[in-house]
């Protein structure tokens, strides 16, 4: 019954907050507020209240026999023209966990959280509410953000009762909980589980990222008059480096610990059909779950680019754009998650998360684990986002098992 009720709630929310183009629950806007008001009504049905912290995160607490607390949650906001499951699946499953325990106090306290502005779709800063609660948000880095219409983040927050200068108080509010575990159910948003024909996966952590711009500098020259061996073609050096980086990625991949790397931007100068490119800039985004593997991939790519540059008689410079360390999840919670998934589905595939999630912000503060439901065709952040209903049901049941196992573990620890 439980899983069917979660799916019915998801469909009800989708019908209230979607257009023909998909979900429209953009953070800090009217449709998002409508979704949260609807959710508050669902919480009231089980006799509980919603409270809001200094960052606009919504909390519901169900006191247990112990003050030790298991946090369950995700986010109700979506990208424009988004899907019906991203964030909401985790929210409705967490609500169902509260419902399941509302008639008698659970062994440990259960707290539900709806993080504000996970997507960052409007102002470009993802994980806003959870990073404020984690204490990792730097106010000065977001103070001047505006959306496409020119509305300032600080004003959009104020419209929702959040004062940017006091957003860090959310950290104290989280610290006041005796939090011992954070559990988040989410859709995979990628094709791995579907390709294995599995409903549910155990998430090992979120990828670390090394993101750089590489600038190859050779010499622009006439394409008709310059013999091939005499050229200093910056593009060909970049292209050979891109191919080599793919080999480096494949070499560092292990079963269950895949890594990824992507060249997403390539610019050449002077960009004339009759000129040998004298300059080529290219982006390289490398991701891995293991910090040593990520460091090795980065070193290998750097050495390869320098060797290839020499072979092509060009120079190469690296500039870091962004990086984040991997956030591995708690080994004991991963084990409980594996048990829960195996009991429900007969198997427990393990996989890393390529996308970041609010869960990553909780990793420095408490044991964390996530569970993934398969994504049809790997699609997300679009109206085609879906999971086959039998997979949804199995995954929701596995998640509720994980909540119970974690409550018992935390109470007895």
Q: Which residues bind Zn ion (CB under 5 A)?
A: 86-87
The residues, ordered by sequence, that sit 6+ positions from 186 with a Cβ below 8 Å of its Cβ are 74, 86, 87, 89, 90, 357, 370, 371, 372, 373
Query: Tokens in use for 107?
Result: 């062994």
Cis ω before 270 (30° cut-off from 0): yes
Residue 9 or 86 having the CB closest to Zn ion? 86
| Beta carbon of residue 244, minimum distance to Zn ion (angstroms, whole number) | 34
Number of H helices, E strands in the chain: 13, 18
Query: Tokens in use for 167?
Result: 């957003």
Residue 86 or 386 having the CB closest to Zn ion? 86
Residue 235 or 372 having the CB closest to Zn ion? 372
Residue 189 or 241 having the CB closest to Zn ion? 189
DSSP helix/strand/coil, 127: coil
- φ and ψ at 27, to 5 degrees? -55, 145
Beta-bridge mates of residue 106: none
Residue 87 or 367 having the CB closest to Zn ion? 87
Residue 27 or 145 having the CB closest to Zn ion? 27
Residue 194 or 358 having the CB closest to Zn ion? 358
- Asked whether 122 and 39 are in contact (CB, 8 A), the reply is no
The residues, ordered by sequence, that sit 6+ positions from 352 with a Cβ below 8 Å of its Cβ are 203, 204, 205, 206, 207, 257, 258, 289
C-beta atoms surrounding 8 within 10 Å: 11
| Beta carbon of residue 89, minimum distance to Zn ion (angstroms, whole number) | 9
- φ and ψ at 37, to 5 degrees? -65, -40
Query: Tokens in use for 331?
Result: 């080994």
| Beta carbon of residue 88, minimum distance to Zn ion (angstroms, whole number) | 9
Residue 130 or 241 having the CB closest to Zn ion? 130
Residue 88 or 199 having the CB closest to Zn ion? 88
Distances (CA, A) of 347 to 28, 80, 337, 341: 40, 35, 11, 7
Which residue do the tokens 């870091």 mark? 320
| Beta carbon of residue 75, minimum distance to Zn ion (angstroms, whole number) | 6
The residues, ordered by sequence, that sit 6+ positions from 392 with a Cβ below 8 Å of its Cβ are 3, 6, 7, 89, 373
**Angle, helices 389-412/2-17, rounded to nearest 10 degrees:** 110
| Beta carbon of residue 55, minimum distance to Zn ion (angstroms, whole number) | 17
DSSP helix/strand/coil, 380: coil
Residue 56 or 87 having the CB closest to Zn ion? 87
| Beta carbon of residue 369, minimum distance to Zn ion (angstroms, whole number) | 16
Query: How many whole angstroms separate alpha carbon 10 and alpha carbon 125?
Result: 26
| Beta carbon of residue 151, minimum distance to Zn ion (angstroms, whole number) | 23
| Beta carbon of residue 189, minimum distance to Zn ion (angstroms, whole number) | 8
Which residue do the tokens 């086959």 mark? 388
| Beta carbon of residue 236, minimum distance to Zn ion (angstroms, whole number) | 40
| Beta carbon of residue 87, minimum distance to Zn ion (angstroms, whole number) | 4
């Amino acid at each position: 019954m439980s899983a069917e009720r979660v799916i019915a709630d998801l469909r009800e929310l989708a019908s209230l907050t979607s257009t023909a183009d998909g979900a429209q629950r953009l953070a800090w806007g009217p449709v998002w507020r409508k979704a949260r008001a609807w959710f508050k009504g669902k919480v009231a049905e089980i006799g509980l209240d919603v409270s809001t912290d200094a960052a606009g995160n919504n909390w519901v607490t169900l006191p247990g026999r112990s003050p030790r607390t298991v946090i369950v949650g995700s986010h109700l906001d979506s990208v424009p023209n988004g899907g019906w499951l991203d964030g909401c699946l985790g929210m409705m499953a967490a609500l169902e966990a509260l419902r399941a325990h509302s008639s008698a106090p659970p062994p440990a306290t259960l707290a539900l959280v709806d993080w504000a502005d996970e997507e960052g779709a409007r102002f470009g800063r993802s994980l806003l509410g959870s990073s404020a609660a984690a204490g990792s948000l730097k106010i000065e880095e977001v103070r001047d953000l505006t959306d496409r219409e020119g509305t300032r983040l600080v004003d959009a927050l104020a419209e929702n009762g959040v004062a940017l200068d006091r957003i860090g108080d959310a950290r104290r509010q989280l610290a006041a909980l005796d939090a011992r575990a954070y559990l988040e159910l989410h859709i995979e948003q990628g094709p791995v589980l579907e390709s294995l024909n599995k409903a549910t996966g155990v998430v090992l952590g979120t990828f670390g990222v090394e993101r750089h711009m590489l600038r190859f500098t050779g010499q622009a020259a006439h394409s008709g008059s310059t013999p091939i061996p005499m050229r200093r073609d910056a593009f060909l050096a970049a292209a050979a480096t891109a191919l080599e980086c793919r080999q480096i990625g494949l070499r560092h991949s292990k079963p269950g610990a895949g890594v990824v790397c992507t060249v997403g931007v390539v610019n050449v100068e002077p960009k004339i059909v009759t000129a040998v490119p004298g300059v080529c800039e290219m982006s390289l985004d490398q991701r891995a779950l293991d910090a040593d593997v990520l460091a090795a991939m980065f070193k290998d790519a750097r050495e390869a680019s320098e060797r290839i540059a020499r072979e092509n008689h060009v120079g190469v410079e690296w500039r870091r754009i962004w990086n984040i360390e991997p956030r591995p999840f708690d080994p004991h919670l991963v084990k409980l998650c594996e048990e829960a998934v195996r009991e429900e589905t007969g198997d427990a595939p393990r996989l890393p998360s390529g996308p970041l999630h609010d869960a990553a912000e909780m990793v420095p503060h408490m044991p964390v684990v996530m569970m993934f439901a398969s994504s049809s065709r790997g699609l997300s952040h679009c109206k085609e986002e879906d999971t086959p209903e039998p997979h949804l049901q199995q995954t929701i049941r596995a998640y509720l098992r994980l909540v119970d196992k974690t409550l018992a573990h935390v109470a007895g620890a």
